[in-house]
């Protein structure tokens, strides 16, 4: 019987560790589905998803998640309706949370060609892909050896950006039939729409909704919403400005400004460059993001499907033009609250620059 056990969790020990429940959600009717799981640290649990794309002759998997037997069974059910998995794409060089699932996914679908982005790396020891479990006879490099199904999918890259152990590089894919752009980390949209997995297991929400350690884990719709909003602030800023005190065994102590911080971050669910990427990856390479946003503005994109937070995100002809203009003019919200929320990220960036793990901005 299919189950949620994930025996390889020690390779990347993130919550919920060895038990990874998977939900299948249809994003674009009859064309694209998402297999969603949770991952995080200290109850900061956010969605991570793999996309299943219908193409001529079968299915393509984009961005692996933990390949549990339950996850594989959900893919098998889609195969019965839409054909066998013929292609597996690992679209990022730095997304270890996706990489760790690829070997098991490849073993589960031995007839599929495996494509990876250039510049793959491992930490703390640099190892070749076969040593990491990738099937050497079936692996091709995106853009170096071509691209999969180019008559149906448009491929283009974001990066590479040199980092400490290896580059940041992301392979994005436009599904021509639906106008859907598949991405991993490049853009996000956050709102009050929390993943269904957290409603099935609300403990992370209720933990962050508390004001002190003695407060019980009361489960109400208001508590779930409150916990989700605070969880999002942690996930996007690592150390939000509204957190005034942190305890080892008790919830975080929040200032009243946290609700305003969430509204400012969310912008009503608008598409945006993730703060972590903007502050830690692209300060030294803003032109790369500008070029990528400009390329997106020239494509017939109707939907953006990120691997984290909201998906799908509806866009129009001006969405990427506005993002490009904002990025090029460096018009990121410069309010006091926004600056304070980014202080921890900017301080961390200065530290890794000082340690020469990344080039100076």
State how far the Cα of 14 lies from the Cα of 19, in Å rounded to an integer. Answer: 11
What is the spatial distance between Cα 23 and Cα 194, in angstroms, rounded to a whole number?
14
The residues with which 113 forms a beta bridge, in sequence order, are: 87
41: Cβ–Cβ under 8 A, 6 or more apart, which residues? 14, 15
Instruction: List pLDDT tens digits, range 6-22.
Output: 999 998 899 999 999 99
H helix or E strand, kind and range, residue 162? strand 153-162
Give the predicted TM-score (pTM) of the model: 0.94
Where do the H-state alpha helices sit in the chain?
A: 69-82, 96-99, 102-108, 196-200, 203-209, 221-237, 258-266, 275-280, 286-297, 319-328, 336-354
Residue in this structure with the two tokens 């993001």, named with its chain if needed? 289
Q: Which DSSP string corresponds to 244-263?
A: EE--SSSPPEE-TTHHHHHH
CA distances from 91 to 116, 170, 183 (A): 6, 6, 8
Cis peptide before 219 (omega within 30 of 0): no
- Rounded CA gap, 40 and 59, in Å? 28
Separation CA 47–CA 35 (nearest Å): 10
pLDDT along the chain (361 residues), means of 10: 87 92 97 96 91 97 97 98 98 91 97 96 83 93 97 96 86 97 96 93 92 84 96 93 68 85 94 93 91 96 97 95 91 62 90 78 63
Residue 81 dihedral angles phi and psi, to the nearest 5° = -95, -30
CA-based nearest residue to 34, from 243, 224, 183: 183
CA angle 231, 236, 241 (to 5 degrees): 80
CA 324, 148, 73 angle in degrees (round to 5)? 100
CA distance 82 to 133: 28
pLDDT for the residue numbered 327: 93
Give the pLDDT confidence of 300-336 residue by residue, as tens digits.
Answer: 999 999 999 999 999 998 999 999 999 998 755 555 5
Helix axis angle for 221-237 and 258-266, nearest 10°, is 70
Cis peptide before 160 (omega within 30 of 0): yes
Residue 263 CA to residue 101 CA, distance in Å, equals 34
Cβ pair 206, 218 in contact under 8 A: yes
Tell me how far apart the alpha carbons of residues 27 and 106 are, in angstroms, rounded to a whole number.
24
* Distances from the Cα of 349 to the Cα of 162, 277, 322, 356, angstroms: 14, 11, 27, 11
Report d(CA 283, CA 360) in Å as an integer.
9
- Is 67 within 8 Å of 53 (Cβ atoms)? no
Which sign does the torsion angle of CA 281, 287, 290, 296 carry? negative
């Amino acid at each position: 019987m299919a189950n949620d056990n994930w025996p390889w969790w020690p390779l990347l020990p993130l919550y919920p560790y060895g038990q990874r429940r998977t939900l299948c959600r249809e994003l674009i009717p009859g064309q694209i589905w998402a297999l969603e799981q949770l991952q995080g640290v200290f109850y900061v649990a956010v969605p991570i998803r793999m996309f299943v794309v219908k193409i001529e002759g079968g299915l393509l998997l984009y961005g692996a998640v933990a390949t549990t037997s339950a996850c594989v069974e959900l893919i098998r059910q889609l195969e019965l309706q839409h054909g066998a998995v013929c292609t597996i794409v690992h679209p990022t060089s730095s997304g270890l949370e996706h990489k760790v699932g690829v070997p098991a996914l490849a073993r589960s679908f031995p007839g599929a060609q495996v494509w990876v982005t250039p510049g793959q790396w491992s930490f703390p020891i640099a190892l070749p892909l076969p040593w990491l479990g990738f099937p050497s006879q079936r692996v091709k490099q995106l853009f170096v050896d071509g691209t999969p199904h180019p008559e149906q999918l448009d491929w283009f890259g974001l990066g590479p950006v040199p980092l400490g152990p290896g580059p940041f590089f992301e392979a994005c894919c436009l599904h021509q039939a639906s106008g859907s752009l598949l991405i991993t980390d490049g853009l996000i949209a956050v709102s009050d729409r929390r993943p269904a997995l957290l409603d099935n297991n609300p403990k992370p929400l209720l933990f962050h909704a508390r004001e002190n350690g003695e407060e019980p884990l009361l489960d109400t719709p208001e508590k779930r919403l409150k916990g989700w909003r605070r969880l999002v602030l942690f996930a996007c800023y690592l150390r939000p400005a509204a957190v005034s005190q942190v305890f080892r065994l008790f919830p975080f102590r929040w200032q009243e400004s946290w609700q305003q911080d969430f509204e400012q971050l969310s912008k009503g669910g608008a598409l945006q460059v993730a703060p972590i990427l903007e502050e830690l990856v692209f300060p030294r390479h803003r032109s790369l993001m500008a070029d990528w946003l400009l390329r997106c503005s020239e494509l017939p994109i109707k939907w953006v499907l990120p691997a984290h937070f909201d998906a799908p995100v509806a866009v129009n002809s001006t969405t990427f033009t506005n993002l490009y203009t904002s990025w090029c003019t460096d018009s990121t919200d410069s309010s006091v609250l926004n600056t304070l929320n980014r202080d921890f990220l900017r301080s961390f960036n200065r530290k890794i620059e000082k340690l020469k793990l990344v080039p100076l901005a």
